[in-house]
Amino acid sequence: MEENKHSKELDAFAKKYVKEIPQEKLTIDFTSSIMKSIVEESTKSVFKTTPLISQKGWFIIVLGIVASFLISIKESNKVLLNLPKVDFSFFDKIQLPNVFESLVISNTLLYAVCFFGMMFFVQIIFLKSHFNKQLE
């Protein structure tokens, strides 16, 4: 009961002060100015894309690859990096049980997995182009 009385008093107080607030008059071109500001904001790029590796970085990487290739050709009788030879014959001695030997996959399941895999990549391509168009 007390809450109801309190809410009525609060409602009357709010109504009294809302009536006292003067109404603002809108200008004639209010809608057009709002639409203009929306268009201006939407044309600005939200995300500023920058490449992970700059052009200068790519230039240095390519220069390093070309230089190492040219040095290896020039000094073909010398070995640039002496790596120790590792004997991998111990892999022949390891006996692993064939875990997937008894696993049988039906053709229907295989076709379904391939189909959904292709559709997944098609969706990625479609969504990427869709969101790129929205950003532009």
Residue 108 pLDDT: 93
The answer as to whether 39 is a domain residue is: yes
pLDDT, averaged in runs of 10, over the chain (136 residues): 76 85 81 85 70 90 86 63 77 76 87 94 89 82
The answer as to whether 58 is a domain residue is: no
Kindly give, in sequence order, each residue whose CB lies less than 8 Å from that of residue 61, ignoring residues fewer than 6 positions away.
53
* Closest to 117 (Cα-Cα) out of 105, 128, 109: 109
The answer as to whether 23 is a domain residue is: yes
pTM given for the model: 0.29
The answer as to whether 136 is a domain residue is: no
The answer as to whether 102 is a domain residue is: no
Domain total in the chain: 1
Residue 38 pLDDT: 83
Residue 99 pLDDT: 73
Residue 79 pLDDT: 58
The answer as to whether 78 is a domain residue is: no
Residue 76 pLDDT: 61
Find the domain containing 18 and state its range: 2-43
Residue 117 pLDDT: 94
The answer as to whether 25 is a domain residue is: yes
The answer as to whether 59 is a domain residue is: no
